[in-house]
Amino acid sequence: MTPLSVPIPSWLMHQKLWRFLGFASSIVGLLCYALSRSFNFLFGKWNLAKISIYIVFSLIICLATFFAKVWQHSASLRLRAHMTFLVLTVTSVYSFFFDKAAIGDPDAYSIVSSASFAIMWFSLSRKIHCGFEVDMLYFFLGVLIIQLMKIRFLLSIVAICFSYFLIVLRSSLDASTVTDSEYLELHDQNHVSIQVESDSQQSNIHRIIMTKLMDCVEALQKRKAALVQTIFEEYNNATNNTMLVTDYNFLIDTLPQGVVNDLHEAVKSAVAVGLVKECSDAYIDCWREFLEECLAILLELDTVKIDHPNTLPTPYFMVKRWAETCNVAFKILFPFERRLCDRVFFGLRSVSDVCFANICRESTTQLLNFADAFTRVSCSFDQIFIIVHIFPALCDLIPHLQTLFCDSLAMFLVNEAITIQNNLREAIEGCYTEVKNMIFRSKKAKFVFPNGGIHPLTMDVLAYVELFCEPFLQKYVQGSDRAGTSFSFSVEMVSMLKILERKLRTKSKNYKDPALCYFFMMINRRYIQNFVKQRHFVTHLCNDWVQNNTHKAEENLELYYKSSWNMVVDYLKLYNDESLVPAGW
């Protein structure tokens, strides 16, 4: 049977309306029935017990009407069966008493209560579907028609019209509900179809976005050669002017702004559809290769062999190239890459950090491995001179590493650099005594000048101090002396100069002429003193040593003068004695 349907206003479809209407009609119906003549005829006058029972019964009916939707959803089939039986029993009892009270004409309270109960069951039929609510609606509509017919036959027409209105309204509302259910079912079927089609469309969208992203990456790759040339030109200019590069945006400014913007938009589109990993992997592969190419050009060596110092053809050249490569990498290339990542992944800080850390990790490890390799080689003049040139370069780079790799993803690179720095310091400390002994035990140390002069041992020691200490001392003082370690290079340098002094004093005893002995000590002390002043080592030496060396040089000069004048006086005395001898003797 097709439900009768008429146009229904949208406000009649709201569940809250029928919930309120059913609750209000139940209150009105119960109140009017309590005041009606039929209730008094059946149950007599009111007393406290009747009032209490009726109030409890009324509360149950009102609450059941108000929360009908709740208990209807939670009710089991057995509970529904019992509810149907209870309603049937109550209806039969009500019909029995209604027939007994139907002797006289009904009053207004009885008519209003019947209409209210009909509306209550009508509203319940909109909220629950237990099967008896429609029958109860028809029952009370029939009671209303009979009551009005007893008063006057024409009034029954009003009851019939009211009943017809409720029945047609219910049928129309049911038709709207069926239509909505069919629409939802059709929507679910269409959703399955659309979902299948949307998966295919999403795959196509991903493919289009990744194609656009790779096109932007390739457009940026075409600028690699120009970037490398710009990097070398800028670094050479900075080196010639003895200035560091401070504006790291100059490389980004050389890139076409449209290319960077297109890549940024492509990244945004890829991230928006969940292609974060694919996007970052494509970018990392591109710029990691770029950094490796730059390092290979700078080092002018196969990247696989740079962590094996014994296989290097020219160690001094490679150390110099390594230091220059580190300067370009950590002062130009990596800051440029940091800023480019921030622009390409603007608004995606975590993705930018991950990309930057992965791009620079291998190149940084490669450069640090070169320095770390020299911490495990045997000690010699060549090796220690290489180490002392690597050490200050690494000390200069660590602050830049700390600035670049400040996030947790790349902090291990900074820790690795600091570990290598400490290993280099320990290697220098271990080689120091051995090299010092090699100097003082050399063949030149045993040589004695017949006419005095500056001893070769003095020149070797000071040359060692110059080559070893000059590039290293300031960094070592900052890194070790101030940290309170047991090895103080300032003290060790003073110790070496004191050993030199003892060696020179021993050599001076080989001169039989006292004046030549004092001259030898004086000229070597003055040479050491001038060397220390010219190389600005005075600040790294204790004041006692400087003052003692100056005092001893002056003392040796005075002794030299005194010894020389004694020789002159002795010569004059001898000459005078010879002139006083008579000519005939």
The answer to whether 391 touches 424, Cβ cutoff 8 Å, is yes
Model confidence band, residue 480 (pLDDT cutoffs 50, 70, 90): very low
Q: For 74-129, write each residue's pLDDT tens digit.
A: 445 555 555 555 655 666 566 656 555 555 667 788 788 878 887 887 777 776 66
Q: Read off the tokens for 26.
A: 């139940």
CATH 2.40.180.10 fits 222-439, yes or no: no
State residue 277's pLDDT score: 84
Between 368 and 484, the more confident residue is 368
Mean per-residue pLDDT over the chain, rounded: 72
Instruction: Tell me how far CA of residue 270 lies from CA of 264, 349, 350, in angstroms.
Output: 10, 15, 15
Question: Dihedral through CA 445, CA 447, CA 448, CA 452, nearest 10?
Answer: -70
Instruction: Give the span between the Cα atoms of 91 and 197, in whole angstroms.
Output: 56
Between 88 and 252, the more confident residue is 252
Between 73 and 442, the more confident residue is 442
The answer to whether 106 touches 150, Cβ cutoff 8 Å, is yes
State residue 186's pLDDT score: 40
Between 493 and 522, the more confident residue is 522
Q: For 438-464, write each residue's pLDDT tens digit.
A: 777 777 667 777 777 888 888 888 877
Model confidence band, residue 201 (pLDDT cutoffs 50, 70, 90): low
Q: Which residues contact 366 (CB under 8 A, 6 or more apart)?
A: 295, 303, 306, 307
Between 323 and 14, the more confident residue is 323
State residue 56's pLDDT score: 84
State residue 87's pLDDT score: 59
Q: For 333-383, write each residue's pLDDT tens digit.
A: 888 888 888 888 888 888 888 888 888 888 888 888 888 887 776 666 667
